[in-house]
Amino acid sequence: MIERKFTIRKKIKAVKKNVFERKSKYLSKYLVYSIILFTVFSSVTVFAQDAGLLKEVEAIKADDNYLYGEAKGETLEEAYDYALRFLVSQISLVVKSEFNVLTEHIMDKDGATTNEKVESVVNTYSQATLNNLQQIVLSQEPNAHVFRYIRKDEIAKIFESRKEKVLSYIELAEKAEKKLKISDALQYYYWGLMLASSLPYGENMKYYDKTSGKDFLMSIWLKDKINEILSDIEIELQSAQKKETYFIQNLKITYHKQPVSNFTFSYFDGRNWIDYNCAKDGRAAIDLRTLNDNFNVKAEYQFKSEAKKMDFELNSVMDAIGVLPFPKSKIEVPKQEEAVEVAEVKQGEVLINKVEDILPCADNNKST
């Protein structure tokens, strides 16, 4: 009897074990099938998304209303940059023929082709300026793939903000000129000219002159204004003081016969060119090794170091275009009919002996 009960229990235990094994096997197969199905469906979903994006990209490429740039890189940043460069080259080709003012200023003077010059200027339009630029990320890092594009009819809009900046610089220059701040006026007129030269339609851009009540071509008007200011600056020799090894020459500087509020210039001291000397209230003092009959100064108008500090976009344009020369910036100081009075400086006597004693320049380490 006891053996029979033991046998029955053993059989029940075996049945339970068999059922458990079958269930475990079934569950394992179910789990495997579930994972496979999930992977397949996930792959299909990703593939469908990629296929949709690729289809969109191909449609944009085939549409003549768009310009685009496409690139790959190890990082998204690298792919973004390469794609933007390619897009900029496409924009350059479209607007090249409209850069008449630009090519007039920089025609192959450094051996670069017109295409290269135009592209270098278009490159000055940063990604922030290209705010109507769109992009599609086709794949993530480490094999990043980026597609960037813009409608052709949107290209003109990327130049509008720069045109507004040109007008702002002109407004600042006009205010400075009225206040006889000649350095500021030359600086802002020149900066406006540089930015106007970087516009594809700069040659045809008009400016309304409130003084004359007439419209002028902006690039011509800006060059005329700079030359007009340079022509109306007068510099006269005043008294001089003799020190141990040099002379302190006092100057009177006027604009339209009125003392300038500020004026920045360089001069030749007999050995070197001394840059960034400043005048205030029509007065300046310079150090000379000898007193010469023939004397010239060069008016500063570029203010490149200030542009680098204040306006990255402008600085990029100045690097791309180079210096626009103004021969009238070299101002001749006429010979005095009477000999300049020279006072001997005694030991320990304090006199104005440097231009910094009249008006410290904003940055004595500036360089053009």
Question: Are 246 and 352 in the same domain?
Answer: yes
57 φ/ψ angles, rounded to the nearest 5 degrees: -60, -45
Question: Are 236 and 353 in the same domain?
Answer: yes
Most confident of 3-12, 32-41, 152-161, 346-355: 152-161
Mean residue pLDDT of the chain comes to: 76
| 85-95: average pLDDT | 80
Task: Please identify, among 227, 253, 271, the residue that sits at the C-terminal boundary of a domain.
Answer: 227
Residue 28: predicted pLDDT: 52
For residue 274, the cross-strand partners are 267
Residue 51: predicted pLDDT: 77
pTM of the model: 0.71
Taking 90 as the threshold, does the pLDDT of residue 320 lie above it?
no
Q: Which of 246, 95, 60, 258 is nearest to 178 (CA)?
A: 258
Secondary structure of 8-45 in the HEC alphabet? Answer: HHHHHHHHHHHHHHHHHHHHHHHHHHHHHHHHHHHHHH
| 293-317: average pLDDT | 89
Is 217 within a domain?
Answer: yes
Is 99 within a domain?
Answer: no
Residue 254: predicted pLDDT: 96
Question: Are 281 and 310 in the same domain?
Answer: yes
Residue 284: predicted pLDDT: 93
Task: With beta carbons less than 8 A apart as the criterion, state whether 134 and 149 touch.
Answer: yes
Question: Are 348 and 247 in the same domain?
Answer: yes
Task: Please identify, among 177, 211, 227, the residue that sits at the C-terminal boundary of a domain.
Answer: 227
Task: With beta carbons less than 8 A apart as the criterion, state whether 314 and 163 touch.
Answer: no
Nearest-angstrom CA–CA distance, 6 and 306: 102
Number of domains the chain contains = 2
Residue 232: predicted pLDDT: 96
Residue range of the domain that includes 315: 232-357
Is 120 within a domain?
Answer: no
Is 319 within a domain?
Answer: yes
Asked which of 98-112, 299-313, 348-362 is least confident by mean pLDDT, the reply is 348-362
Residue 256: predicted pLDDT: 95
Is 306 within a domain?
Answer: yes
Which amino acid makes up residue 89? S
Question: Are 220 and 305 in the same domain?
Answer: no
Residue 325: predicted pLDDT: 93
Task: With beta carbons less than 8 A apart as the criterion, state whether 67 and 150 touch.
Answer: yes
Question: Are 178 and 291 in the same domain?
Answer: no
The residue ranking higher by pLDDT, 270 or 329, is: 329
Is 21 within a domain?
Answer: no
Question: Are 205 and 284 in the same domain?
Answer: no
Is 58 within a domain?
Answer: no
Confidence of residue 279 (pLDDT cuts 50, 70, 90): very high
Question: Are 240 and 312 in the same domain?
Answer: yes
Is 302 within a domain?
Answer: yes
Taking 60 as the threshold, does the pLDDT of residue 294 lie above it?
yes
| 208-218: average pLDDT | 87
The residue ranking higher by pLDDT, 339 or 203, is: 203
Task: With beta carbons less than 8 A apart as the criterion, state whether 320 and 121 touch.
Answer: yes
Residue 270: predicted pLDDT: 73
Residue 124: predicted pLDDT: 79
Greatest CA separation for the chain: 150
Confidence of residue 253 (pLDDT cuts 50, 70, 90): very high
Question: Are 166 and 214 in the same domain?
Answer: yes
The residue ranking higher by pLDDT, 311 or 5, is: 311
Task: Please identify, among 227, 244, 264, the residue that sits at the C-terminal boundary of a domain.
Answer: 227
| 296-305: average pLDDT | 93
Question: Are 325 and 240 in the same domain?
Answer: yes
Question: Are 209 and 274 in the same domain?
Answer: no
Question: Are 217 and 332 in the same domain?
Answer: no
| 26-33: average pLDDT | 47
pLDDT digits (tens, 9 = 90+) for 129-158: 666 788 899 888 888 899 999 988 887 777
User: By three-state DSSP, how is residue 139 classified?
Assistant: strand
Confidence of residue 47 (pLDDT cuts 50, 70, 90): very low
| 155-165: average pLDDT | 82
Taking 70 as the threshold, does the pLDDT of residue 197 lie above it?
yes
